[in-house]
Amino acid sequence: MKTINKLNTKQVVLITGASTGIGHATALYLDKMGMKVYAGVRKETDKQKLLQEGTSNLTPVFLDVCDQDSITRSFDLVAKETGEFTFSLVNNAGVSLNGPLELLPLPDIKKLLDVNVCGLLSVTKTFLPLIRKNKGRIVNISSGHGLLAIPDKSVYAASKFAVQAITDSLRVELLPFGVSVSSVVVGKVNTSVLGKILDDRNKMLEKAQPEIVKLYSHLIEYFDKEVKNIPGIEAIEVAEVIAKVLNRPKPKAQYLIGPGAKKMKVLSRFPSGMRDNLLYKAIYT
């Protein structure tokens, strides 16, 4: 890990989805840099883990982004303790769902959109008064799939395109208040989430009709190999970029992290016909 540089300690940040992966790494990283960190978790075990690993400046809070009462309770807690400090929000909570649309259960589709889109909007809307008060920042964690929608990722890509749209809209909407809004576009990250994604995919295939699974077998096999072969980055690398976004006088609108995200950015600039043809040939020939 790089040497940790101290941030302006008069900053408070809330990170959603801090139980594992990027959120967990970011909470600990910003804590070590001297920020007051509120880390959103949903389980007591995750709370205790953060308390053991962090300093007294790190406060785990029970936060379910799909539950407005939970969001409001978190707001009330943070608002009491923020005072005149600059408050910023890192919207990291999210779930993944991969597979051909015909095989995806509708309840899972709705859950993903509820977490990745509606949850992000609910938390941001609730905390905007604190963010505006002292010209804080909003950092939305996105994905390369929010730059380019590819087969097997229709629902997940839809949610991450929405994150990009929300970021672009709020960046100008909140400009009069001195609030900056950035997206951090992440490629493959080496976390335990990858194992869960593969497990969830296998469970989905087991429940689906075999004749439908067979129709999409080439697509499924291709992307299973693709996920395993793409080089990943460590969660701490994302945490380091988030720290820069929170500390730079004029953060960029978008940050790309990892070869996967950069590859998607390049491919997104290709004409759609050329891009579709390349994808089709890669998958089916």
> Tens of pLDDT along 176-186?
999 999 999 99
Whether residue 143 is predicted with pLDDT greater than 60 in this model: the reply is: yes
Q: pLDDT tier at 207 (50, 70, 90 boundaries)? A: confident
Rounded average pLDDT over 161-180? 98
pTM reported for the whole predicted model = 0.92
Q: pLDDT tier at 106 (50, 70, 90 boundaries)? A: very high
Whether residue 226 is predicted with pLDDT greater than 80 in this model: the reply is: no
How far apart, in whole angstroms, are the C-alpha atoms of residue 182 and residue 5? 21
Going across the sheet that includes 11-15, the strands are: 58-62, 36-41, 11-15, 86-91, 137-143, 180-186, 254-257
Rounded average pLDDT over 230-243? 92
Q: In the block, which residue shows the tokens 């205790």? A: 48
What domains does the chain contain, in order, with CATH numbers?
11-284 (3.40.50.720)
How far apart, in whole angstroms, are the C-alpha atoms of residue 175 and residue 181? 9
Is pLDDT larger for residue 157 or for residue 231? 157
Q: What is the largest CA-CA distance in the chain?
A: 61
Proportion of the chain above pLDDT 70, given as a percent:
95
Burial of 130-157, coded b for 16+ CB within 10 Å and e otherwise, reads bbebbebbbbbbbbbbbbbebbbbbbbb
How far apart, in whole angstroms, are the C-alpha atoms of residue 111 and residue 118? 10
Whether residue 141 is predicted with pLDDT greater than 90 in this model: the reply is: yes
Proportion of the chain above pLDDT 90, given as a percent:
80
User: What digits encode the pLDDT tens for the residues 242-283?
Assistant: 999 999 999 999 999 998 899 999 999 999 999 999 999 999
108-117, 154-163, 201-210, 266-275: range with lowest mean pLDDT: 201-210
Which pair of structure tokens corresponds to residue 269?
């600039």
Rounded average pLDDT over 47-52? 97
Whether residue 230 is predicted with pLDDT greater than 90 in this model: the reply is: no
pLDDT, position 1: 44
How far apart, in whole angstroms, are the C-alpha atoms of residue 207 and residue 196? 17
How far apart, in whole angstroms, are the C-alpha atoms of residue 163 and residue 260? 18
pLDDT, position 199: 80
User: What digits encode the pLDDT tens for the residues 10-42?
Assistant: 799 999 999 999 999 999 999 999 999 999 999
pLDDT, position 5: 47
Distance of alpha carbon 150 from the chain centroid: 18
Q: pLDDT tier at 3 (50, 70, 90 boundaries)? A: very low
Cβ-based neighbours of 200, under 8 Å, separated by 6 or more: 96, 97, 98
Please choose, from the candidates 129, 151, 145, the residue with its C-alpha nearest in 3D space to the C-alpha of residue 215. Answer: 151
Rounded average pLDDT over 227-238? 85
Rounded average pLDDT over 77-84? 87
pLDDT, position 194: 67
Q: pLDDT tier at 193 (50, 70, 90 boundaries)? A: low
How far apart, in whole angstroms, are the C-alpha atoms of residue 53 and residue 6? 18
pLDDT, position 7: 45
Whether residue 2 is predicted with pLDDT greater than 50 in this model: the reply is: no
Q: Which residues are catalytically annotated? A: 156
Tally the C-alpha atoms within 13 A of residue 110's C-alpha that lie toward its C-beta: 3
Whether residue 211 is predicted with pLDDT greater than 70 in this model: the reply is: yes
